[in-house]
Amino acid sequence: MPDRRPFSHILFDLDHTLAYYPLPTAGVIAETFLRLDIPLTSLGAPDEVATLYDNLWVELERGIRTADELRLAVWRRLLASRGLLANGVAERIAAEYGATRRAHDVRLFDGVRELLAELRRAGYGLGLLTNGLSDAQWDKIHSTRIEPFFDAILVAGDAGLYKPDPLAFAALLERLGASRDRALFVGDSYEMDILGAEAAGIACAWIRPAGTPIPGPVVPDYQFANVLDVREVAL
């Protein structure tokens, strides 16, 4: 009997879709500065500093090889923007920030491992497409032990293809041997995941926080409050 399900393959984003850091950027920065006995207020409001840090991380990551190098580049730029760049300061903060981040390791959202297992048992091909540097993203994949669930994994830093470039989605489909019209992409970022999947001709499901408006003209095929809600269309 033919498979009448709408999809044969389900593709996932990693960060903030399947996994998260229990201590957000603002918390890591605050703990880092406390350990170094540096007044955090010298940089500004903690939430504003965290936003700037995250934005610089995305802005600079494509030209850098490793997470440690990127972390240092971000802190150099951030401190320079505040007129605080002095010899050795960025290096000290970057090293301590890295140690603090690793002390609060990435975790899967509750129920994700069970969801992936159910999807595999149901016969779906599974793919993972994640932006980020190779070492940082593979560290997350290995520490959460999710690699065996996926038939193909594409890390942007390995391939030189970053979402929302539709070529990144096409490359994952090729590795899976999947058809775009039988694939569903699930992610939390409207700009990276939803717009990218739409440009690649793939159905998309947006993990949309309650009350968040749709920020553009593209309307996702599905909207879920939680990645576990994928069951509604897949199982």
- What are the pLDDT digits (tens) for 95-106? 999 999 999 989
Tally of domains within the chain: 2
Instruction: Identify whether 1 is part of a domain.
Output: no
89-103 and 67-81 helices cross at what angle (nearest 10)?
A: 130
Cross-strand bridge partners of residue 15:
19
Q: Where are the alpha helices (DSSP H) in 61-133?
A: 67-81, 89-103, 112-121
Judge contact between 162 and 188, C-beta under 8 A.
no
Does residue 41 have a pLDDT over 90?
no
Do 139 and 78 fall within a single domain? no
pLDDT at 40: 81
Do 30 and 115 fall within a single domain? no
Lowest mean pLDDT among 37-46, 96-105, 164-173: 37-46
- pLDDT, average across residues 182-193: 97
Domain boundary among 42, 72, 103: 103
Report the predicted TM-score, pTM, of the whole model to 2 decimal places: 0.92
Do 131 and 222 fall within a single domain? yes
CATH number, domain containing residue 121: 3.40.50.1000
The per-residue pLDDT of the chain, averaged, comes to 93
Do 65 and 115 fall within a single domain? no
- pLDDT, average across residues 219-224: 96
CATH number, domain containing residue 82: 1.10.150
Which range among 64-68, 79-83, 166-170 has the greatest average pLDDT? 166-170
Do 64 and 164 fall within a single domain? no
What DSSP character marks residue 27? Answer: H
- State the residue range of the domain holding 117: 9-20+107-234
Question: What are the φ and ψ backbone dihedral angles of 204, each rounded to 5 degrees?
Answer: -135, 150
For 178, other C-beta atoms within 10 Å of its C-beta total: 21
Query: ∠ at Cα 97 (91, 98), nearest 5°?
Result: 90
Query: ∠ at Cα 131 (130, 136), nearest 5°?
Result: 90
Domain boundary among 71, 86, 103: 103
Cα R_g (the chain), whole angstroms: 19
Q: Which residues contact 214 (CB under 8 A, 6 or more apart)?
A: 190, 208, 220
